[in-house]
Amino acid sequence: MSGTAVTIGAYDGVHLGHRALLRELSTLAAVEGLSTVVVTFDRHPAGVVRPESAPRQLTDLEQKLELLEDCGIDRILVIEFDRDRADESAEDFVKDVLVDTLGARLVVVGEDFHFGHGRKGNVALLTELGREYGFTVIGAHLTGDGTGSSGASGSSGASAVVSSTRIRTLVAAGDVVGAARLLGRPHEVRGTVVHGDGRGGPELGFPTANMMIDDNIALPAVGIYAGFFTRADGSAHPAAISVGRRPTFYRSESASVLVEAYLLHFDGDLYGELGRVSFVRRLRDEQQFDSVDALIAQMHRDVAAAEQVLSADR
């Protein structure tokens, strides 16, 4: 290998800003005859450094790797981020990973990139180390507009920055349409279909796929959504999705938040199956009803609304 063009980051969400940076990396690498490498981590570094305030993730590791592979990168290096790695100095990280492991000749990172113990490493330090070890550094704006975002590409800097933090805020507010604009796709969560409390089919007439979602994954605000349930075989089914605490049955605010998907025009057993739920549009807030009949009537309206939304979006 003659050398590599490398980018480093958590890459949570692999959003449009990330994709623009990866396109730029590939373009610059082709000019220099370098192979491309993404260096990312098996977990978000904040989960080790400050677990009490670590953000919930837009993608799990499996989905992140799938999305990165779709970007046409030659190699992905996943680093285990543990306490030892968190305590490693920025200088040692560069020597170990960029120089000795990857033979980097070009490094492209976000302009606010920080790394190493205490986040003491930044683009300026990386540039200084690049002069010592023989690689060039570019700090890029994560605009996601595809117009060229680094100093090398002559960006005007006028485009709004796309960030995982901004997308998490939209998701937490239930603005899944806004989040999808920045992600380049609907926000998705993955999990196993498990048994619920048994009300959906027998009592309500709407059997749902109850998803076991990792606590570390970002869920939309409680409410009812139109979206899709994708099975392990890749088949996508339109669905009305509830993210909530089921206040008609459980009056406590401390009740767990559950993700339940009612698949439209579907009859089958999904228990134990791995599934993916994607959120297209928020239909309404979660509500507490005075009776089960009132809830059932609203569920009929929700299913009709979801069908209308999803048919229009196709």
Q: Report the catalytic residues.
A: 260
Closest alpha carbon to 165 in 303, 29, 58, 38: 58
Separation between Cα atoms, residue 77 and residue 108, nearest integer Å: 15
Tokens of 110: 């976000």
Q: Which amino acid is at 24?
A: E
Tokens 């490398």, residue located = 6
Report the first-to-last Cα separation within the chain, whole angstroms. 45
- Amino acid letter, 97: V
- Give the relative orientation of helices 176-183 and 164-172 as an angle to the nearest 10 degrees: 160
Q: Which of 75, 131, 136, 138 is nearest to 108 (CA)?
A: 138
Structure tokens at 302: 């929700």
Pairing of strands 187-194, 274-284: antiparallel
According to DSSP, residue 96 is labeled I
DSSP state of 204: T
Pairing of strands 75-79, 35-41: parallel
Q: How far apart are CA 4 and CA 91, in angstroms?
A: 19
